[in-house]
Amino acid sequence: CKERGGGKCLYFSREMYQAFRRQNQLVDLIKRGMEAEQFYLNFQPVYNCARGKFDSCEALLRLKDENGSNVSPAEFIPLAEKRGLINGLSWMVIEMACRFIRDYPEYSGSLSINFSVLQFLETDMVPRMISLTQRYGVRPERLKIEITERIIAEDTRRVLSVMNQLTRAGFGFYLDDFGTGYSSLSYVLTLPFECIKLDKSLVDGIGNEKNRILVEAIVRCFHAIGVETITEGVENEEQRRIMAELGTDRIQGYYYSRPLPEKEFLELMRGQG
Ligand code: C2E
Ligand code: CA
Ligand code: CA
Ligand code: CA
């Protein structure tokens, strides 16, 4: 309800009503989707510049609505978080990732999954991660957990404690969306990250000389402390060339490939030998 002038509650705008309705429909869709297994993973290959081939991938969650069109995770993930559905969804993602690794031994790379802050608040999450991966015969080293600085900022002590436990168990951590405004080097320096993912926004500005200098400095700084970099959101040849010249270790972006359905991803990996 909107406030106006004297602070009186006046009306629901049509837009607010529609947004509210859309949210409720989406919540239903998420709940039904979890029961009917309407969720699935896409895999976006990640190119290793030194090896000249794809060597890893990121698993991205997908949901089809009743018309068969895809709902964006950028829309349904925040909603799932708000409505208490994210933890169920997240365990489903981890299980699908484990099943993929178990079912396709021909794929030997690592697989990134995205974590939400609420997963870190679950009391039994560490033993559950360990037993789930054991049940699927998946070495924890195969899974890379992507988190953003926002997640760390929300509950630094808790996130740090869980991160350390999972790292000791063999899981790897990637810092996602680096360069999107929260960036503070202190997290990177104090937390056990294997890899930093440079956000698309850094790539978008790469035609600009100052941005190039900044990105080069970032990459060099991480390398100096033994942290790898993946550059995200590379869409064209010029961006690819510049980022490779600046020394990024790996590249993920539409230039190389969009996120792919399981079968297409496996074909692509098979094709490169
Ligand atoms: P993210 O983790 O930053 O994932 C990268 C997003 O960038 C993906 O969008 C991917 O499709 C897109 N992308 C990759 N290369 C390019 C490019 O060259 N150009 C452009 N314009 N975009 C590119 P997607 O799949 O829509 O996912 C959006 C966000 O939803 C993810 O951002 C992540 O934060 C979240 N998400 C996805 N799957 C999961 C999940 O299983 N769990 C959680 N908690 N969040 C997820
Ligand atoms: Ca990610
Ligand atoms: Ca990202
Ligand atoms: Ca993101």
The per-residue pLDDT for range 2-17, each reduced to its tens digit, is: 455 555 566 678 888 8
User: Does any ligand 1 atom lie closer than 6 A to the CB of residue 257?
Assistant: no
pLDDT at position 182 is 66
Q: Which residues surround ligand 4, an ion (CB under 5 A)?
A: 177
User: Does any ligand 1 atom lie closer than 6 A to the CB of residue 116?
Assistant: yes
Instruction: Report helix, strand or coil for 62.
Output: strand
Q: Whose CA is nearest to atom 42 of ligand 1?
A: 114
Q: What is the pTM of this model?
A: 0.94
Which ligand 1 atom sits nearest the alpha carbon of residue 252?
Answer: 15
Report ipTM (2 d.p.): 0.98
Helix axes 156-169, 125-135, angle to 10 degrees: 30
pLDDT at position 38 is 87
Q: How far, in Å, is the centroid of ligand 4 from the Cα of 73?
A: 10
- Distance between CA 39 and CA 96 in Å, rounded? 10
Which ligand 1 atom sits nearest the alpha carbon of residue 60?
Answer: 38
- Distance between CA 203 and CA 213 in Å, rounded? 12
Dihedral sign (CA 38, 109, 203, 113): positive
The identity of residue 97, as a single letter, is: A
User: Does any ligand 1 atom lie closer than 6 A to the CB of residue 61?
Assistant: yes
Low-confidence ranges of the chain (pLDDT < 50): 2
> CA nearest 190: which of 157, 214, 219, 217?
157
- Distance between CA 196 and CA 174 in Å, rounded? 6
User: Does any ligand 1 atom lie closer than 6 A to the CB of residue 33?
Assistant: no
Q: Whose CA is nearest to atom 2 of ligand 1?
A: 114
Q: How far, in Å, is the centroid of ligand 4 from the Cα of 181?
A: 12
Q: Whose CA is nearest to atom 45 of ligand 1?
A: 114
pLDDT at position 108 is 96
Interval 144-182: pLDDT, tens:
999 999 999 899 999 999 999 999 999 999 999 998 876
Looking up tokens 């740090």, which residue turns up?
A: 160
Compute φ and ψ for 54, nearest 5 degrees.
Answer: -70, 135
User: Does any ligand 1 atom lie closer than 6 A to the CB of residue 199?
Assistant: no
Which ligand 1 atom sits nearest the alpha carbon of residue 146?
Answer: 2
pLDDT at position 241 is 97
- Pocket test of ligand 1: the residue of 39, 44, 60, 232 to mutate, having most ligand atoms within 8 Å of its CB, is 60
Residues β-bridged to residue 148: 176
pLDDT at position 210 is 92
> CA nearest 150: which of 78, 94, 201?
78
Which ligand 1 atom sits nearest the alpha carbon of residue 234?
Answer: 18
